[in-house]
Amino acid sequence: MKNSPRIQSHSVKPPQANAVRAPQVMPVKPPQMTLTPRPLSVKPPQANFVRSPQARSVKPPQANSVKPPQFAEQKRVVLAGSEKAVAPNSVHVKATPPKSKVTVSVIVKRKEPLKINQRGGRANGPVRVTRASFKAHHSADPSAIKQIKAFAKEFHLKVEADPTASARRTVQLTGTAADIQKAFGVVLEQKTVDGVERRVREGGIHLPASLKDVVEAVLGLDNRPQAQPHFRTHKRGPAAPTSYTPPQVATAYKFPANASGAGQTIGIIELGGGYRQADLTAYFKTLGLPAPAITAVLVDGGKNAPSNANSADGEVMLDIEVAASVAPGAKIAVYFTPNTDQGFIDAITTAVHDETNKPSVISISWGGPESTWTWQSMTALDAACQSAAALGVTITVAAGDNGSTDGLTGNNVDFPASSPHVLACGGTKLDANGATIVSEVVWNELALKDGATGGGVSNVFALPSWQANAKVPKPSGKTGGRGVPDVAGDADPTTGYTIRVDGDTSTIGGTSAVAPLWAGLVAVANEQLGTQVGFIQPAIYAAKVASAFNDITQGNNGAFSAGPGWDACTGLGSPIASKLIPLLAPASASKKPAAKKKASSAKKTKPAKKAAKVGRKKRK
């Protein structure tokens, strides 16, 4: 009993002591000790929260909140000018297989618009810039390319590698038909068009709203043929045609004998056909000239694919043989591409920005009526030609072979000849004897079904300032005004060119012959002047240049008649090259390099002189 109270007393006191000392002292003092630090511990977080963490953590959410939703969630808008008409003479076959591969070319906006020359208060073409300056200021907007890549990733499309994508402002995307249709808001189907199965899309292209001001064109969804070659093979009849070799035509137009285009490259755009080296070697041997150095550049899967004389081979061989024989010192680069709006435009941008072959002039002998093109395709191709003009690259284009109708009803002009940034080339019927022109009139053999020169007034492109005094007729529509063509040359197949195609020699004409003829003249001018003449329209429309042309005043192409000065059949006329070339020199061009080139080229043109002496011959 005496021990129990001790145990109880001992067992109670320790808990009481511990209960009092620990809760009363330790828990109270720490809170008292932390009352002062707490405000300090709160202030730093507040300071950090405002100055650093919040600034960093709040800005991204704000940026994200401004960014549009994912592309798939955005409202869709129609890409301006992308509406594609229903394919005529077509029959539906099936939906495009969803797993089939499709590659499209997306053309995006520039960093900065090209600057325009203002002479006398009027626009006179783009300001000439260096390639370095072009890349720095006028290539693709980097933010636009970034957006297209993000768009491609979301829709499972592959961005094709291309070192020239920025300069060409073109991003190529490849994907399945199913993904492509979702990405661009279109329906793809297979149809037979004129008996051939094609991939067709109709109506507009629908883009996410955030890409509305970024994308200028989407090409390649539809692979219908876009253009036609503008050459004409003389139809056999009771009257044999008068035939000239290209050097003989050059002699009639007084190409300088002491210049050959040495140091220049002539680019040629081909939407089909091909050439055989054996044919070229044989042909140039008959002219007393070495075969030209030719490079085939393949664009968008295009091929040098010669077949027979009735195919587009006739176009390819005509272009090469004319250009290379009137400028025998120049190199030739042929850009083969599919006959689609995508292929056509990609080939031009590839040639313009080709820093390997570096063509100083580009010849195009393909085209079609303006109404057969979509607005987006026309503006994209014209923009490519505008870039060429800014870089000092001349583009010559055939004006068409179907007279003032261009093969349709009413009056129509051919595109891309109607672009204000190309030299549109019309056709004449030439009677020449050596360096003397006996007569030259408008080419019009419609009665014999042998075609006629294209020409008229654009319903799309406005009247350029350099044509302001040319008395161009009013357009038939509410818009347009650009007169076609600018210049002319021999094109009538009854007075055509002796050309070799797939082992067969025949007489070929068409404005297809005039584009490479003028391209050769430009190459010769570039060599002789020691500089690239580039965009020559403002110069050739000047009053003082009139005497450098053979003014064609007789004939018509249907709705339009020839007359003094510019007309919608033959433009300013055919060239007197010896007078014209000195007038093409840009104001800043130095004539010292020209003198050196002149001396060195005299030795190289002896074969050309020999070729020009060959007499005019009759086809039997």
Mean pLDDT: which of 303-312, 519-528, 607-616 is highest?
A: 519-528
Residue written as token pair 């829709």:
155
The span from the CA of 243 to the CA of 238, in Å, is: 15
CA 56, 58, 63, 64 torsion: positive or negative? Answer: positive
pLDDT of 313 strictly over 90: yes
Q: How many CB atoms lie within 10 A of CB 446?
A: 16
Which domains are delineated in the chain? 73-219 (no CATH), 241-618 (3.40.50.200)
Q: What is the mean pLDDT of residues 450-463?
A: 96
Higher-pLDDT residue of 435 and 585 is: 435
For 511-562, write each residue's pLDDT tens digit.
999 999 999 999 999 999 999 999 999 999 998 899 999 999 999 999 999 9
The span from the CA of 540 to the CA of 567, in Å, is: 14
Q: Which ranges constitute the DSSP H helices of 83-193?
A: 131-137, 142-154, 165-168, 177-184
List, as own/partner pairs, every contact residues 437-440 make where C-beta atoms lie below 8 angstroms and the sequence separation is at least 24, other chains included: 437/252, 437/550, 440/490, 440/550, 440/552, 440/574
Answer yes or no: 512 catalytic: yes
Helix (H) or strand (E) holding 501: strand 497-501
Report which residue type is found at 46: Q
Catalytic residue among 179, 315, 486, 490: 315
Give the pLDDT confidence score for residue 215 in this predicted structure. 98
Closest C-alpha to 536, from 380, 400, 395, 416:
395
Question: Percent of the chain, pLDDT > 90?
Answer: 77
Which residues have C-beta within 8 Å of that of residue 77, sequence separation ≥ 6? 206, 207, 208, 209, 212
User: CA–CA distance from 441 to each of 11, 161, 427 (Å)?
Assistant: 134, 51, 9
Catalytic residue among 458, 512, 574, 601: 512
For 570-600, write each residue's pLDDT tens digit.
999 999 999 999 999 886 544 444 444 433 3
For 178-224, write each residue's pLDDT tens digit.
999 999 999 999 999 989 999 999 999 999 999 999 999 999 999 99
Catalytic residue among 319, 321, 450, 567: 319
Grouping H, G, I as helix, E, B as strand and the rest as coil, residue 503 is coil
**Whole-prediction pTM:** 0.85
For 388-417, write each residue's pLDDT tens digit.
999 999 999 999 999 999 999 999 999 999
Half-sphere exposure of 238 (CA within 13 A, CB side): 1
Give the pLDDT confidence score for residue 618 in this predicted structure. 41
Answer yes or no: 319 catalytic: yes
Q: Label residue 119 by pLDDT band (50, 70, 90).
A: low
For 20-70, write each residue's pLDDT tens digit.
343 343 443 434 433 334 443 434 444 343 343 444 444 444 544 556 679
For 228-260, write each residue's pLDDT tens digit.
999 998 765 555 568 999 999 999 999 998 889
For 420-429, write each residue's pLDDT tens digit.
999 999 999 9
For 335-373, write each residue's pLDDT tens digit.
999 999 999 999 999 999 999 999 999 999 999 999 999
Asked if 256 contacts 609 with a C-beta cutoff of 8 angstroms, the reply is no
Report which residue type is found at 43: K
The span from the CA of 249 to the CA of 242, in Å, is: 12
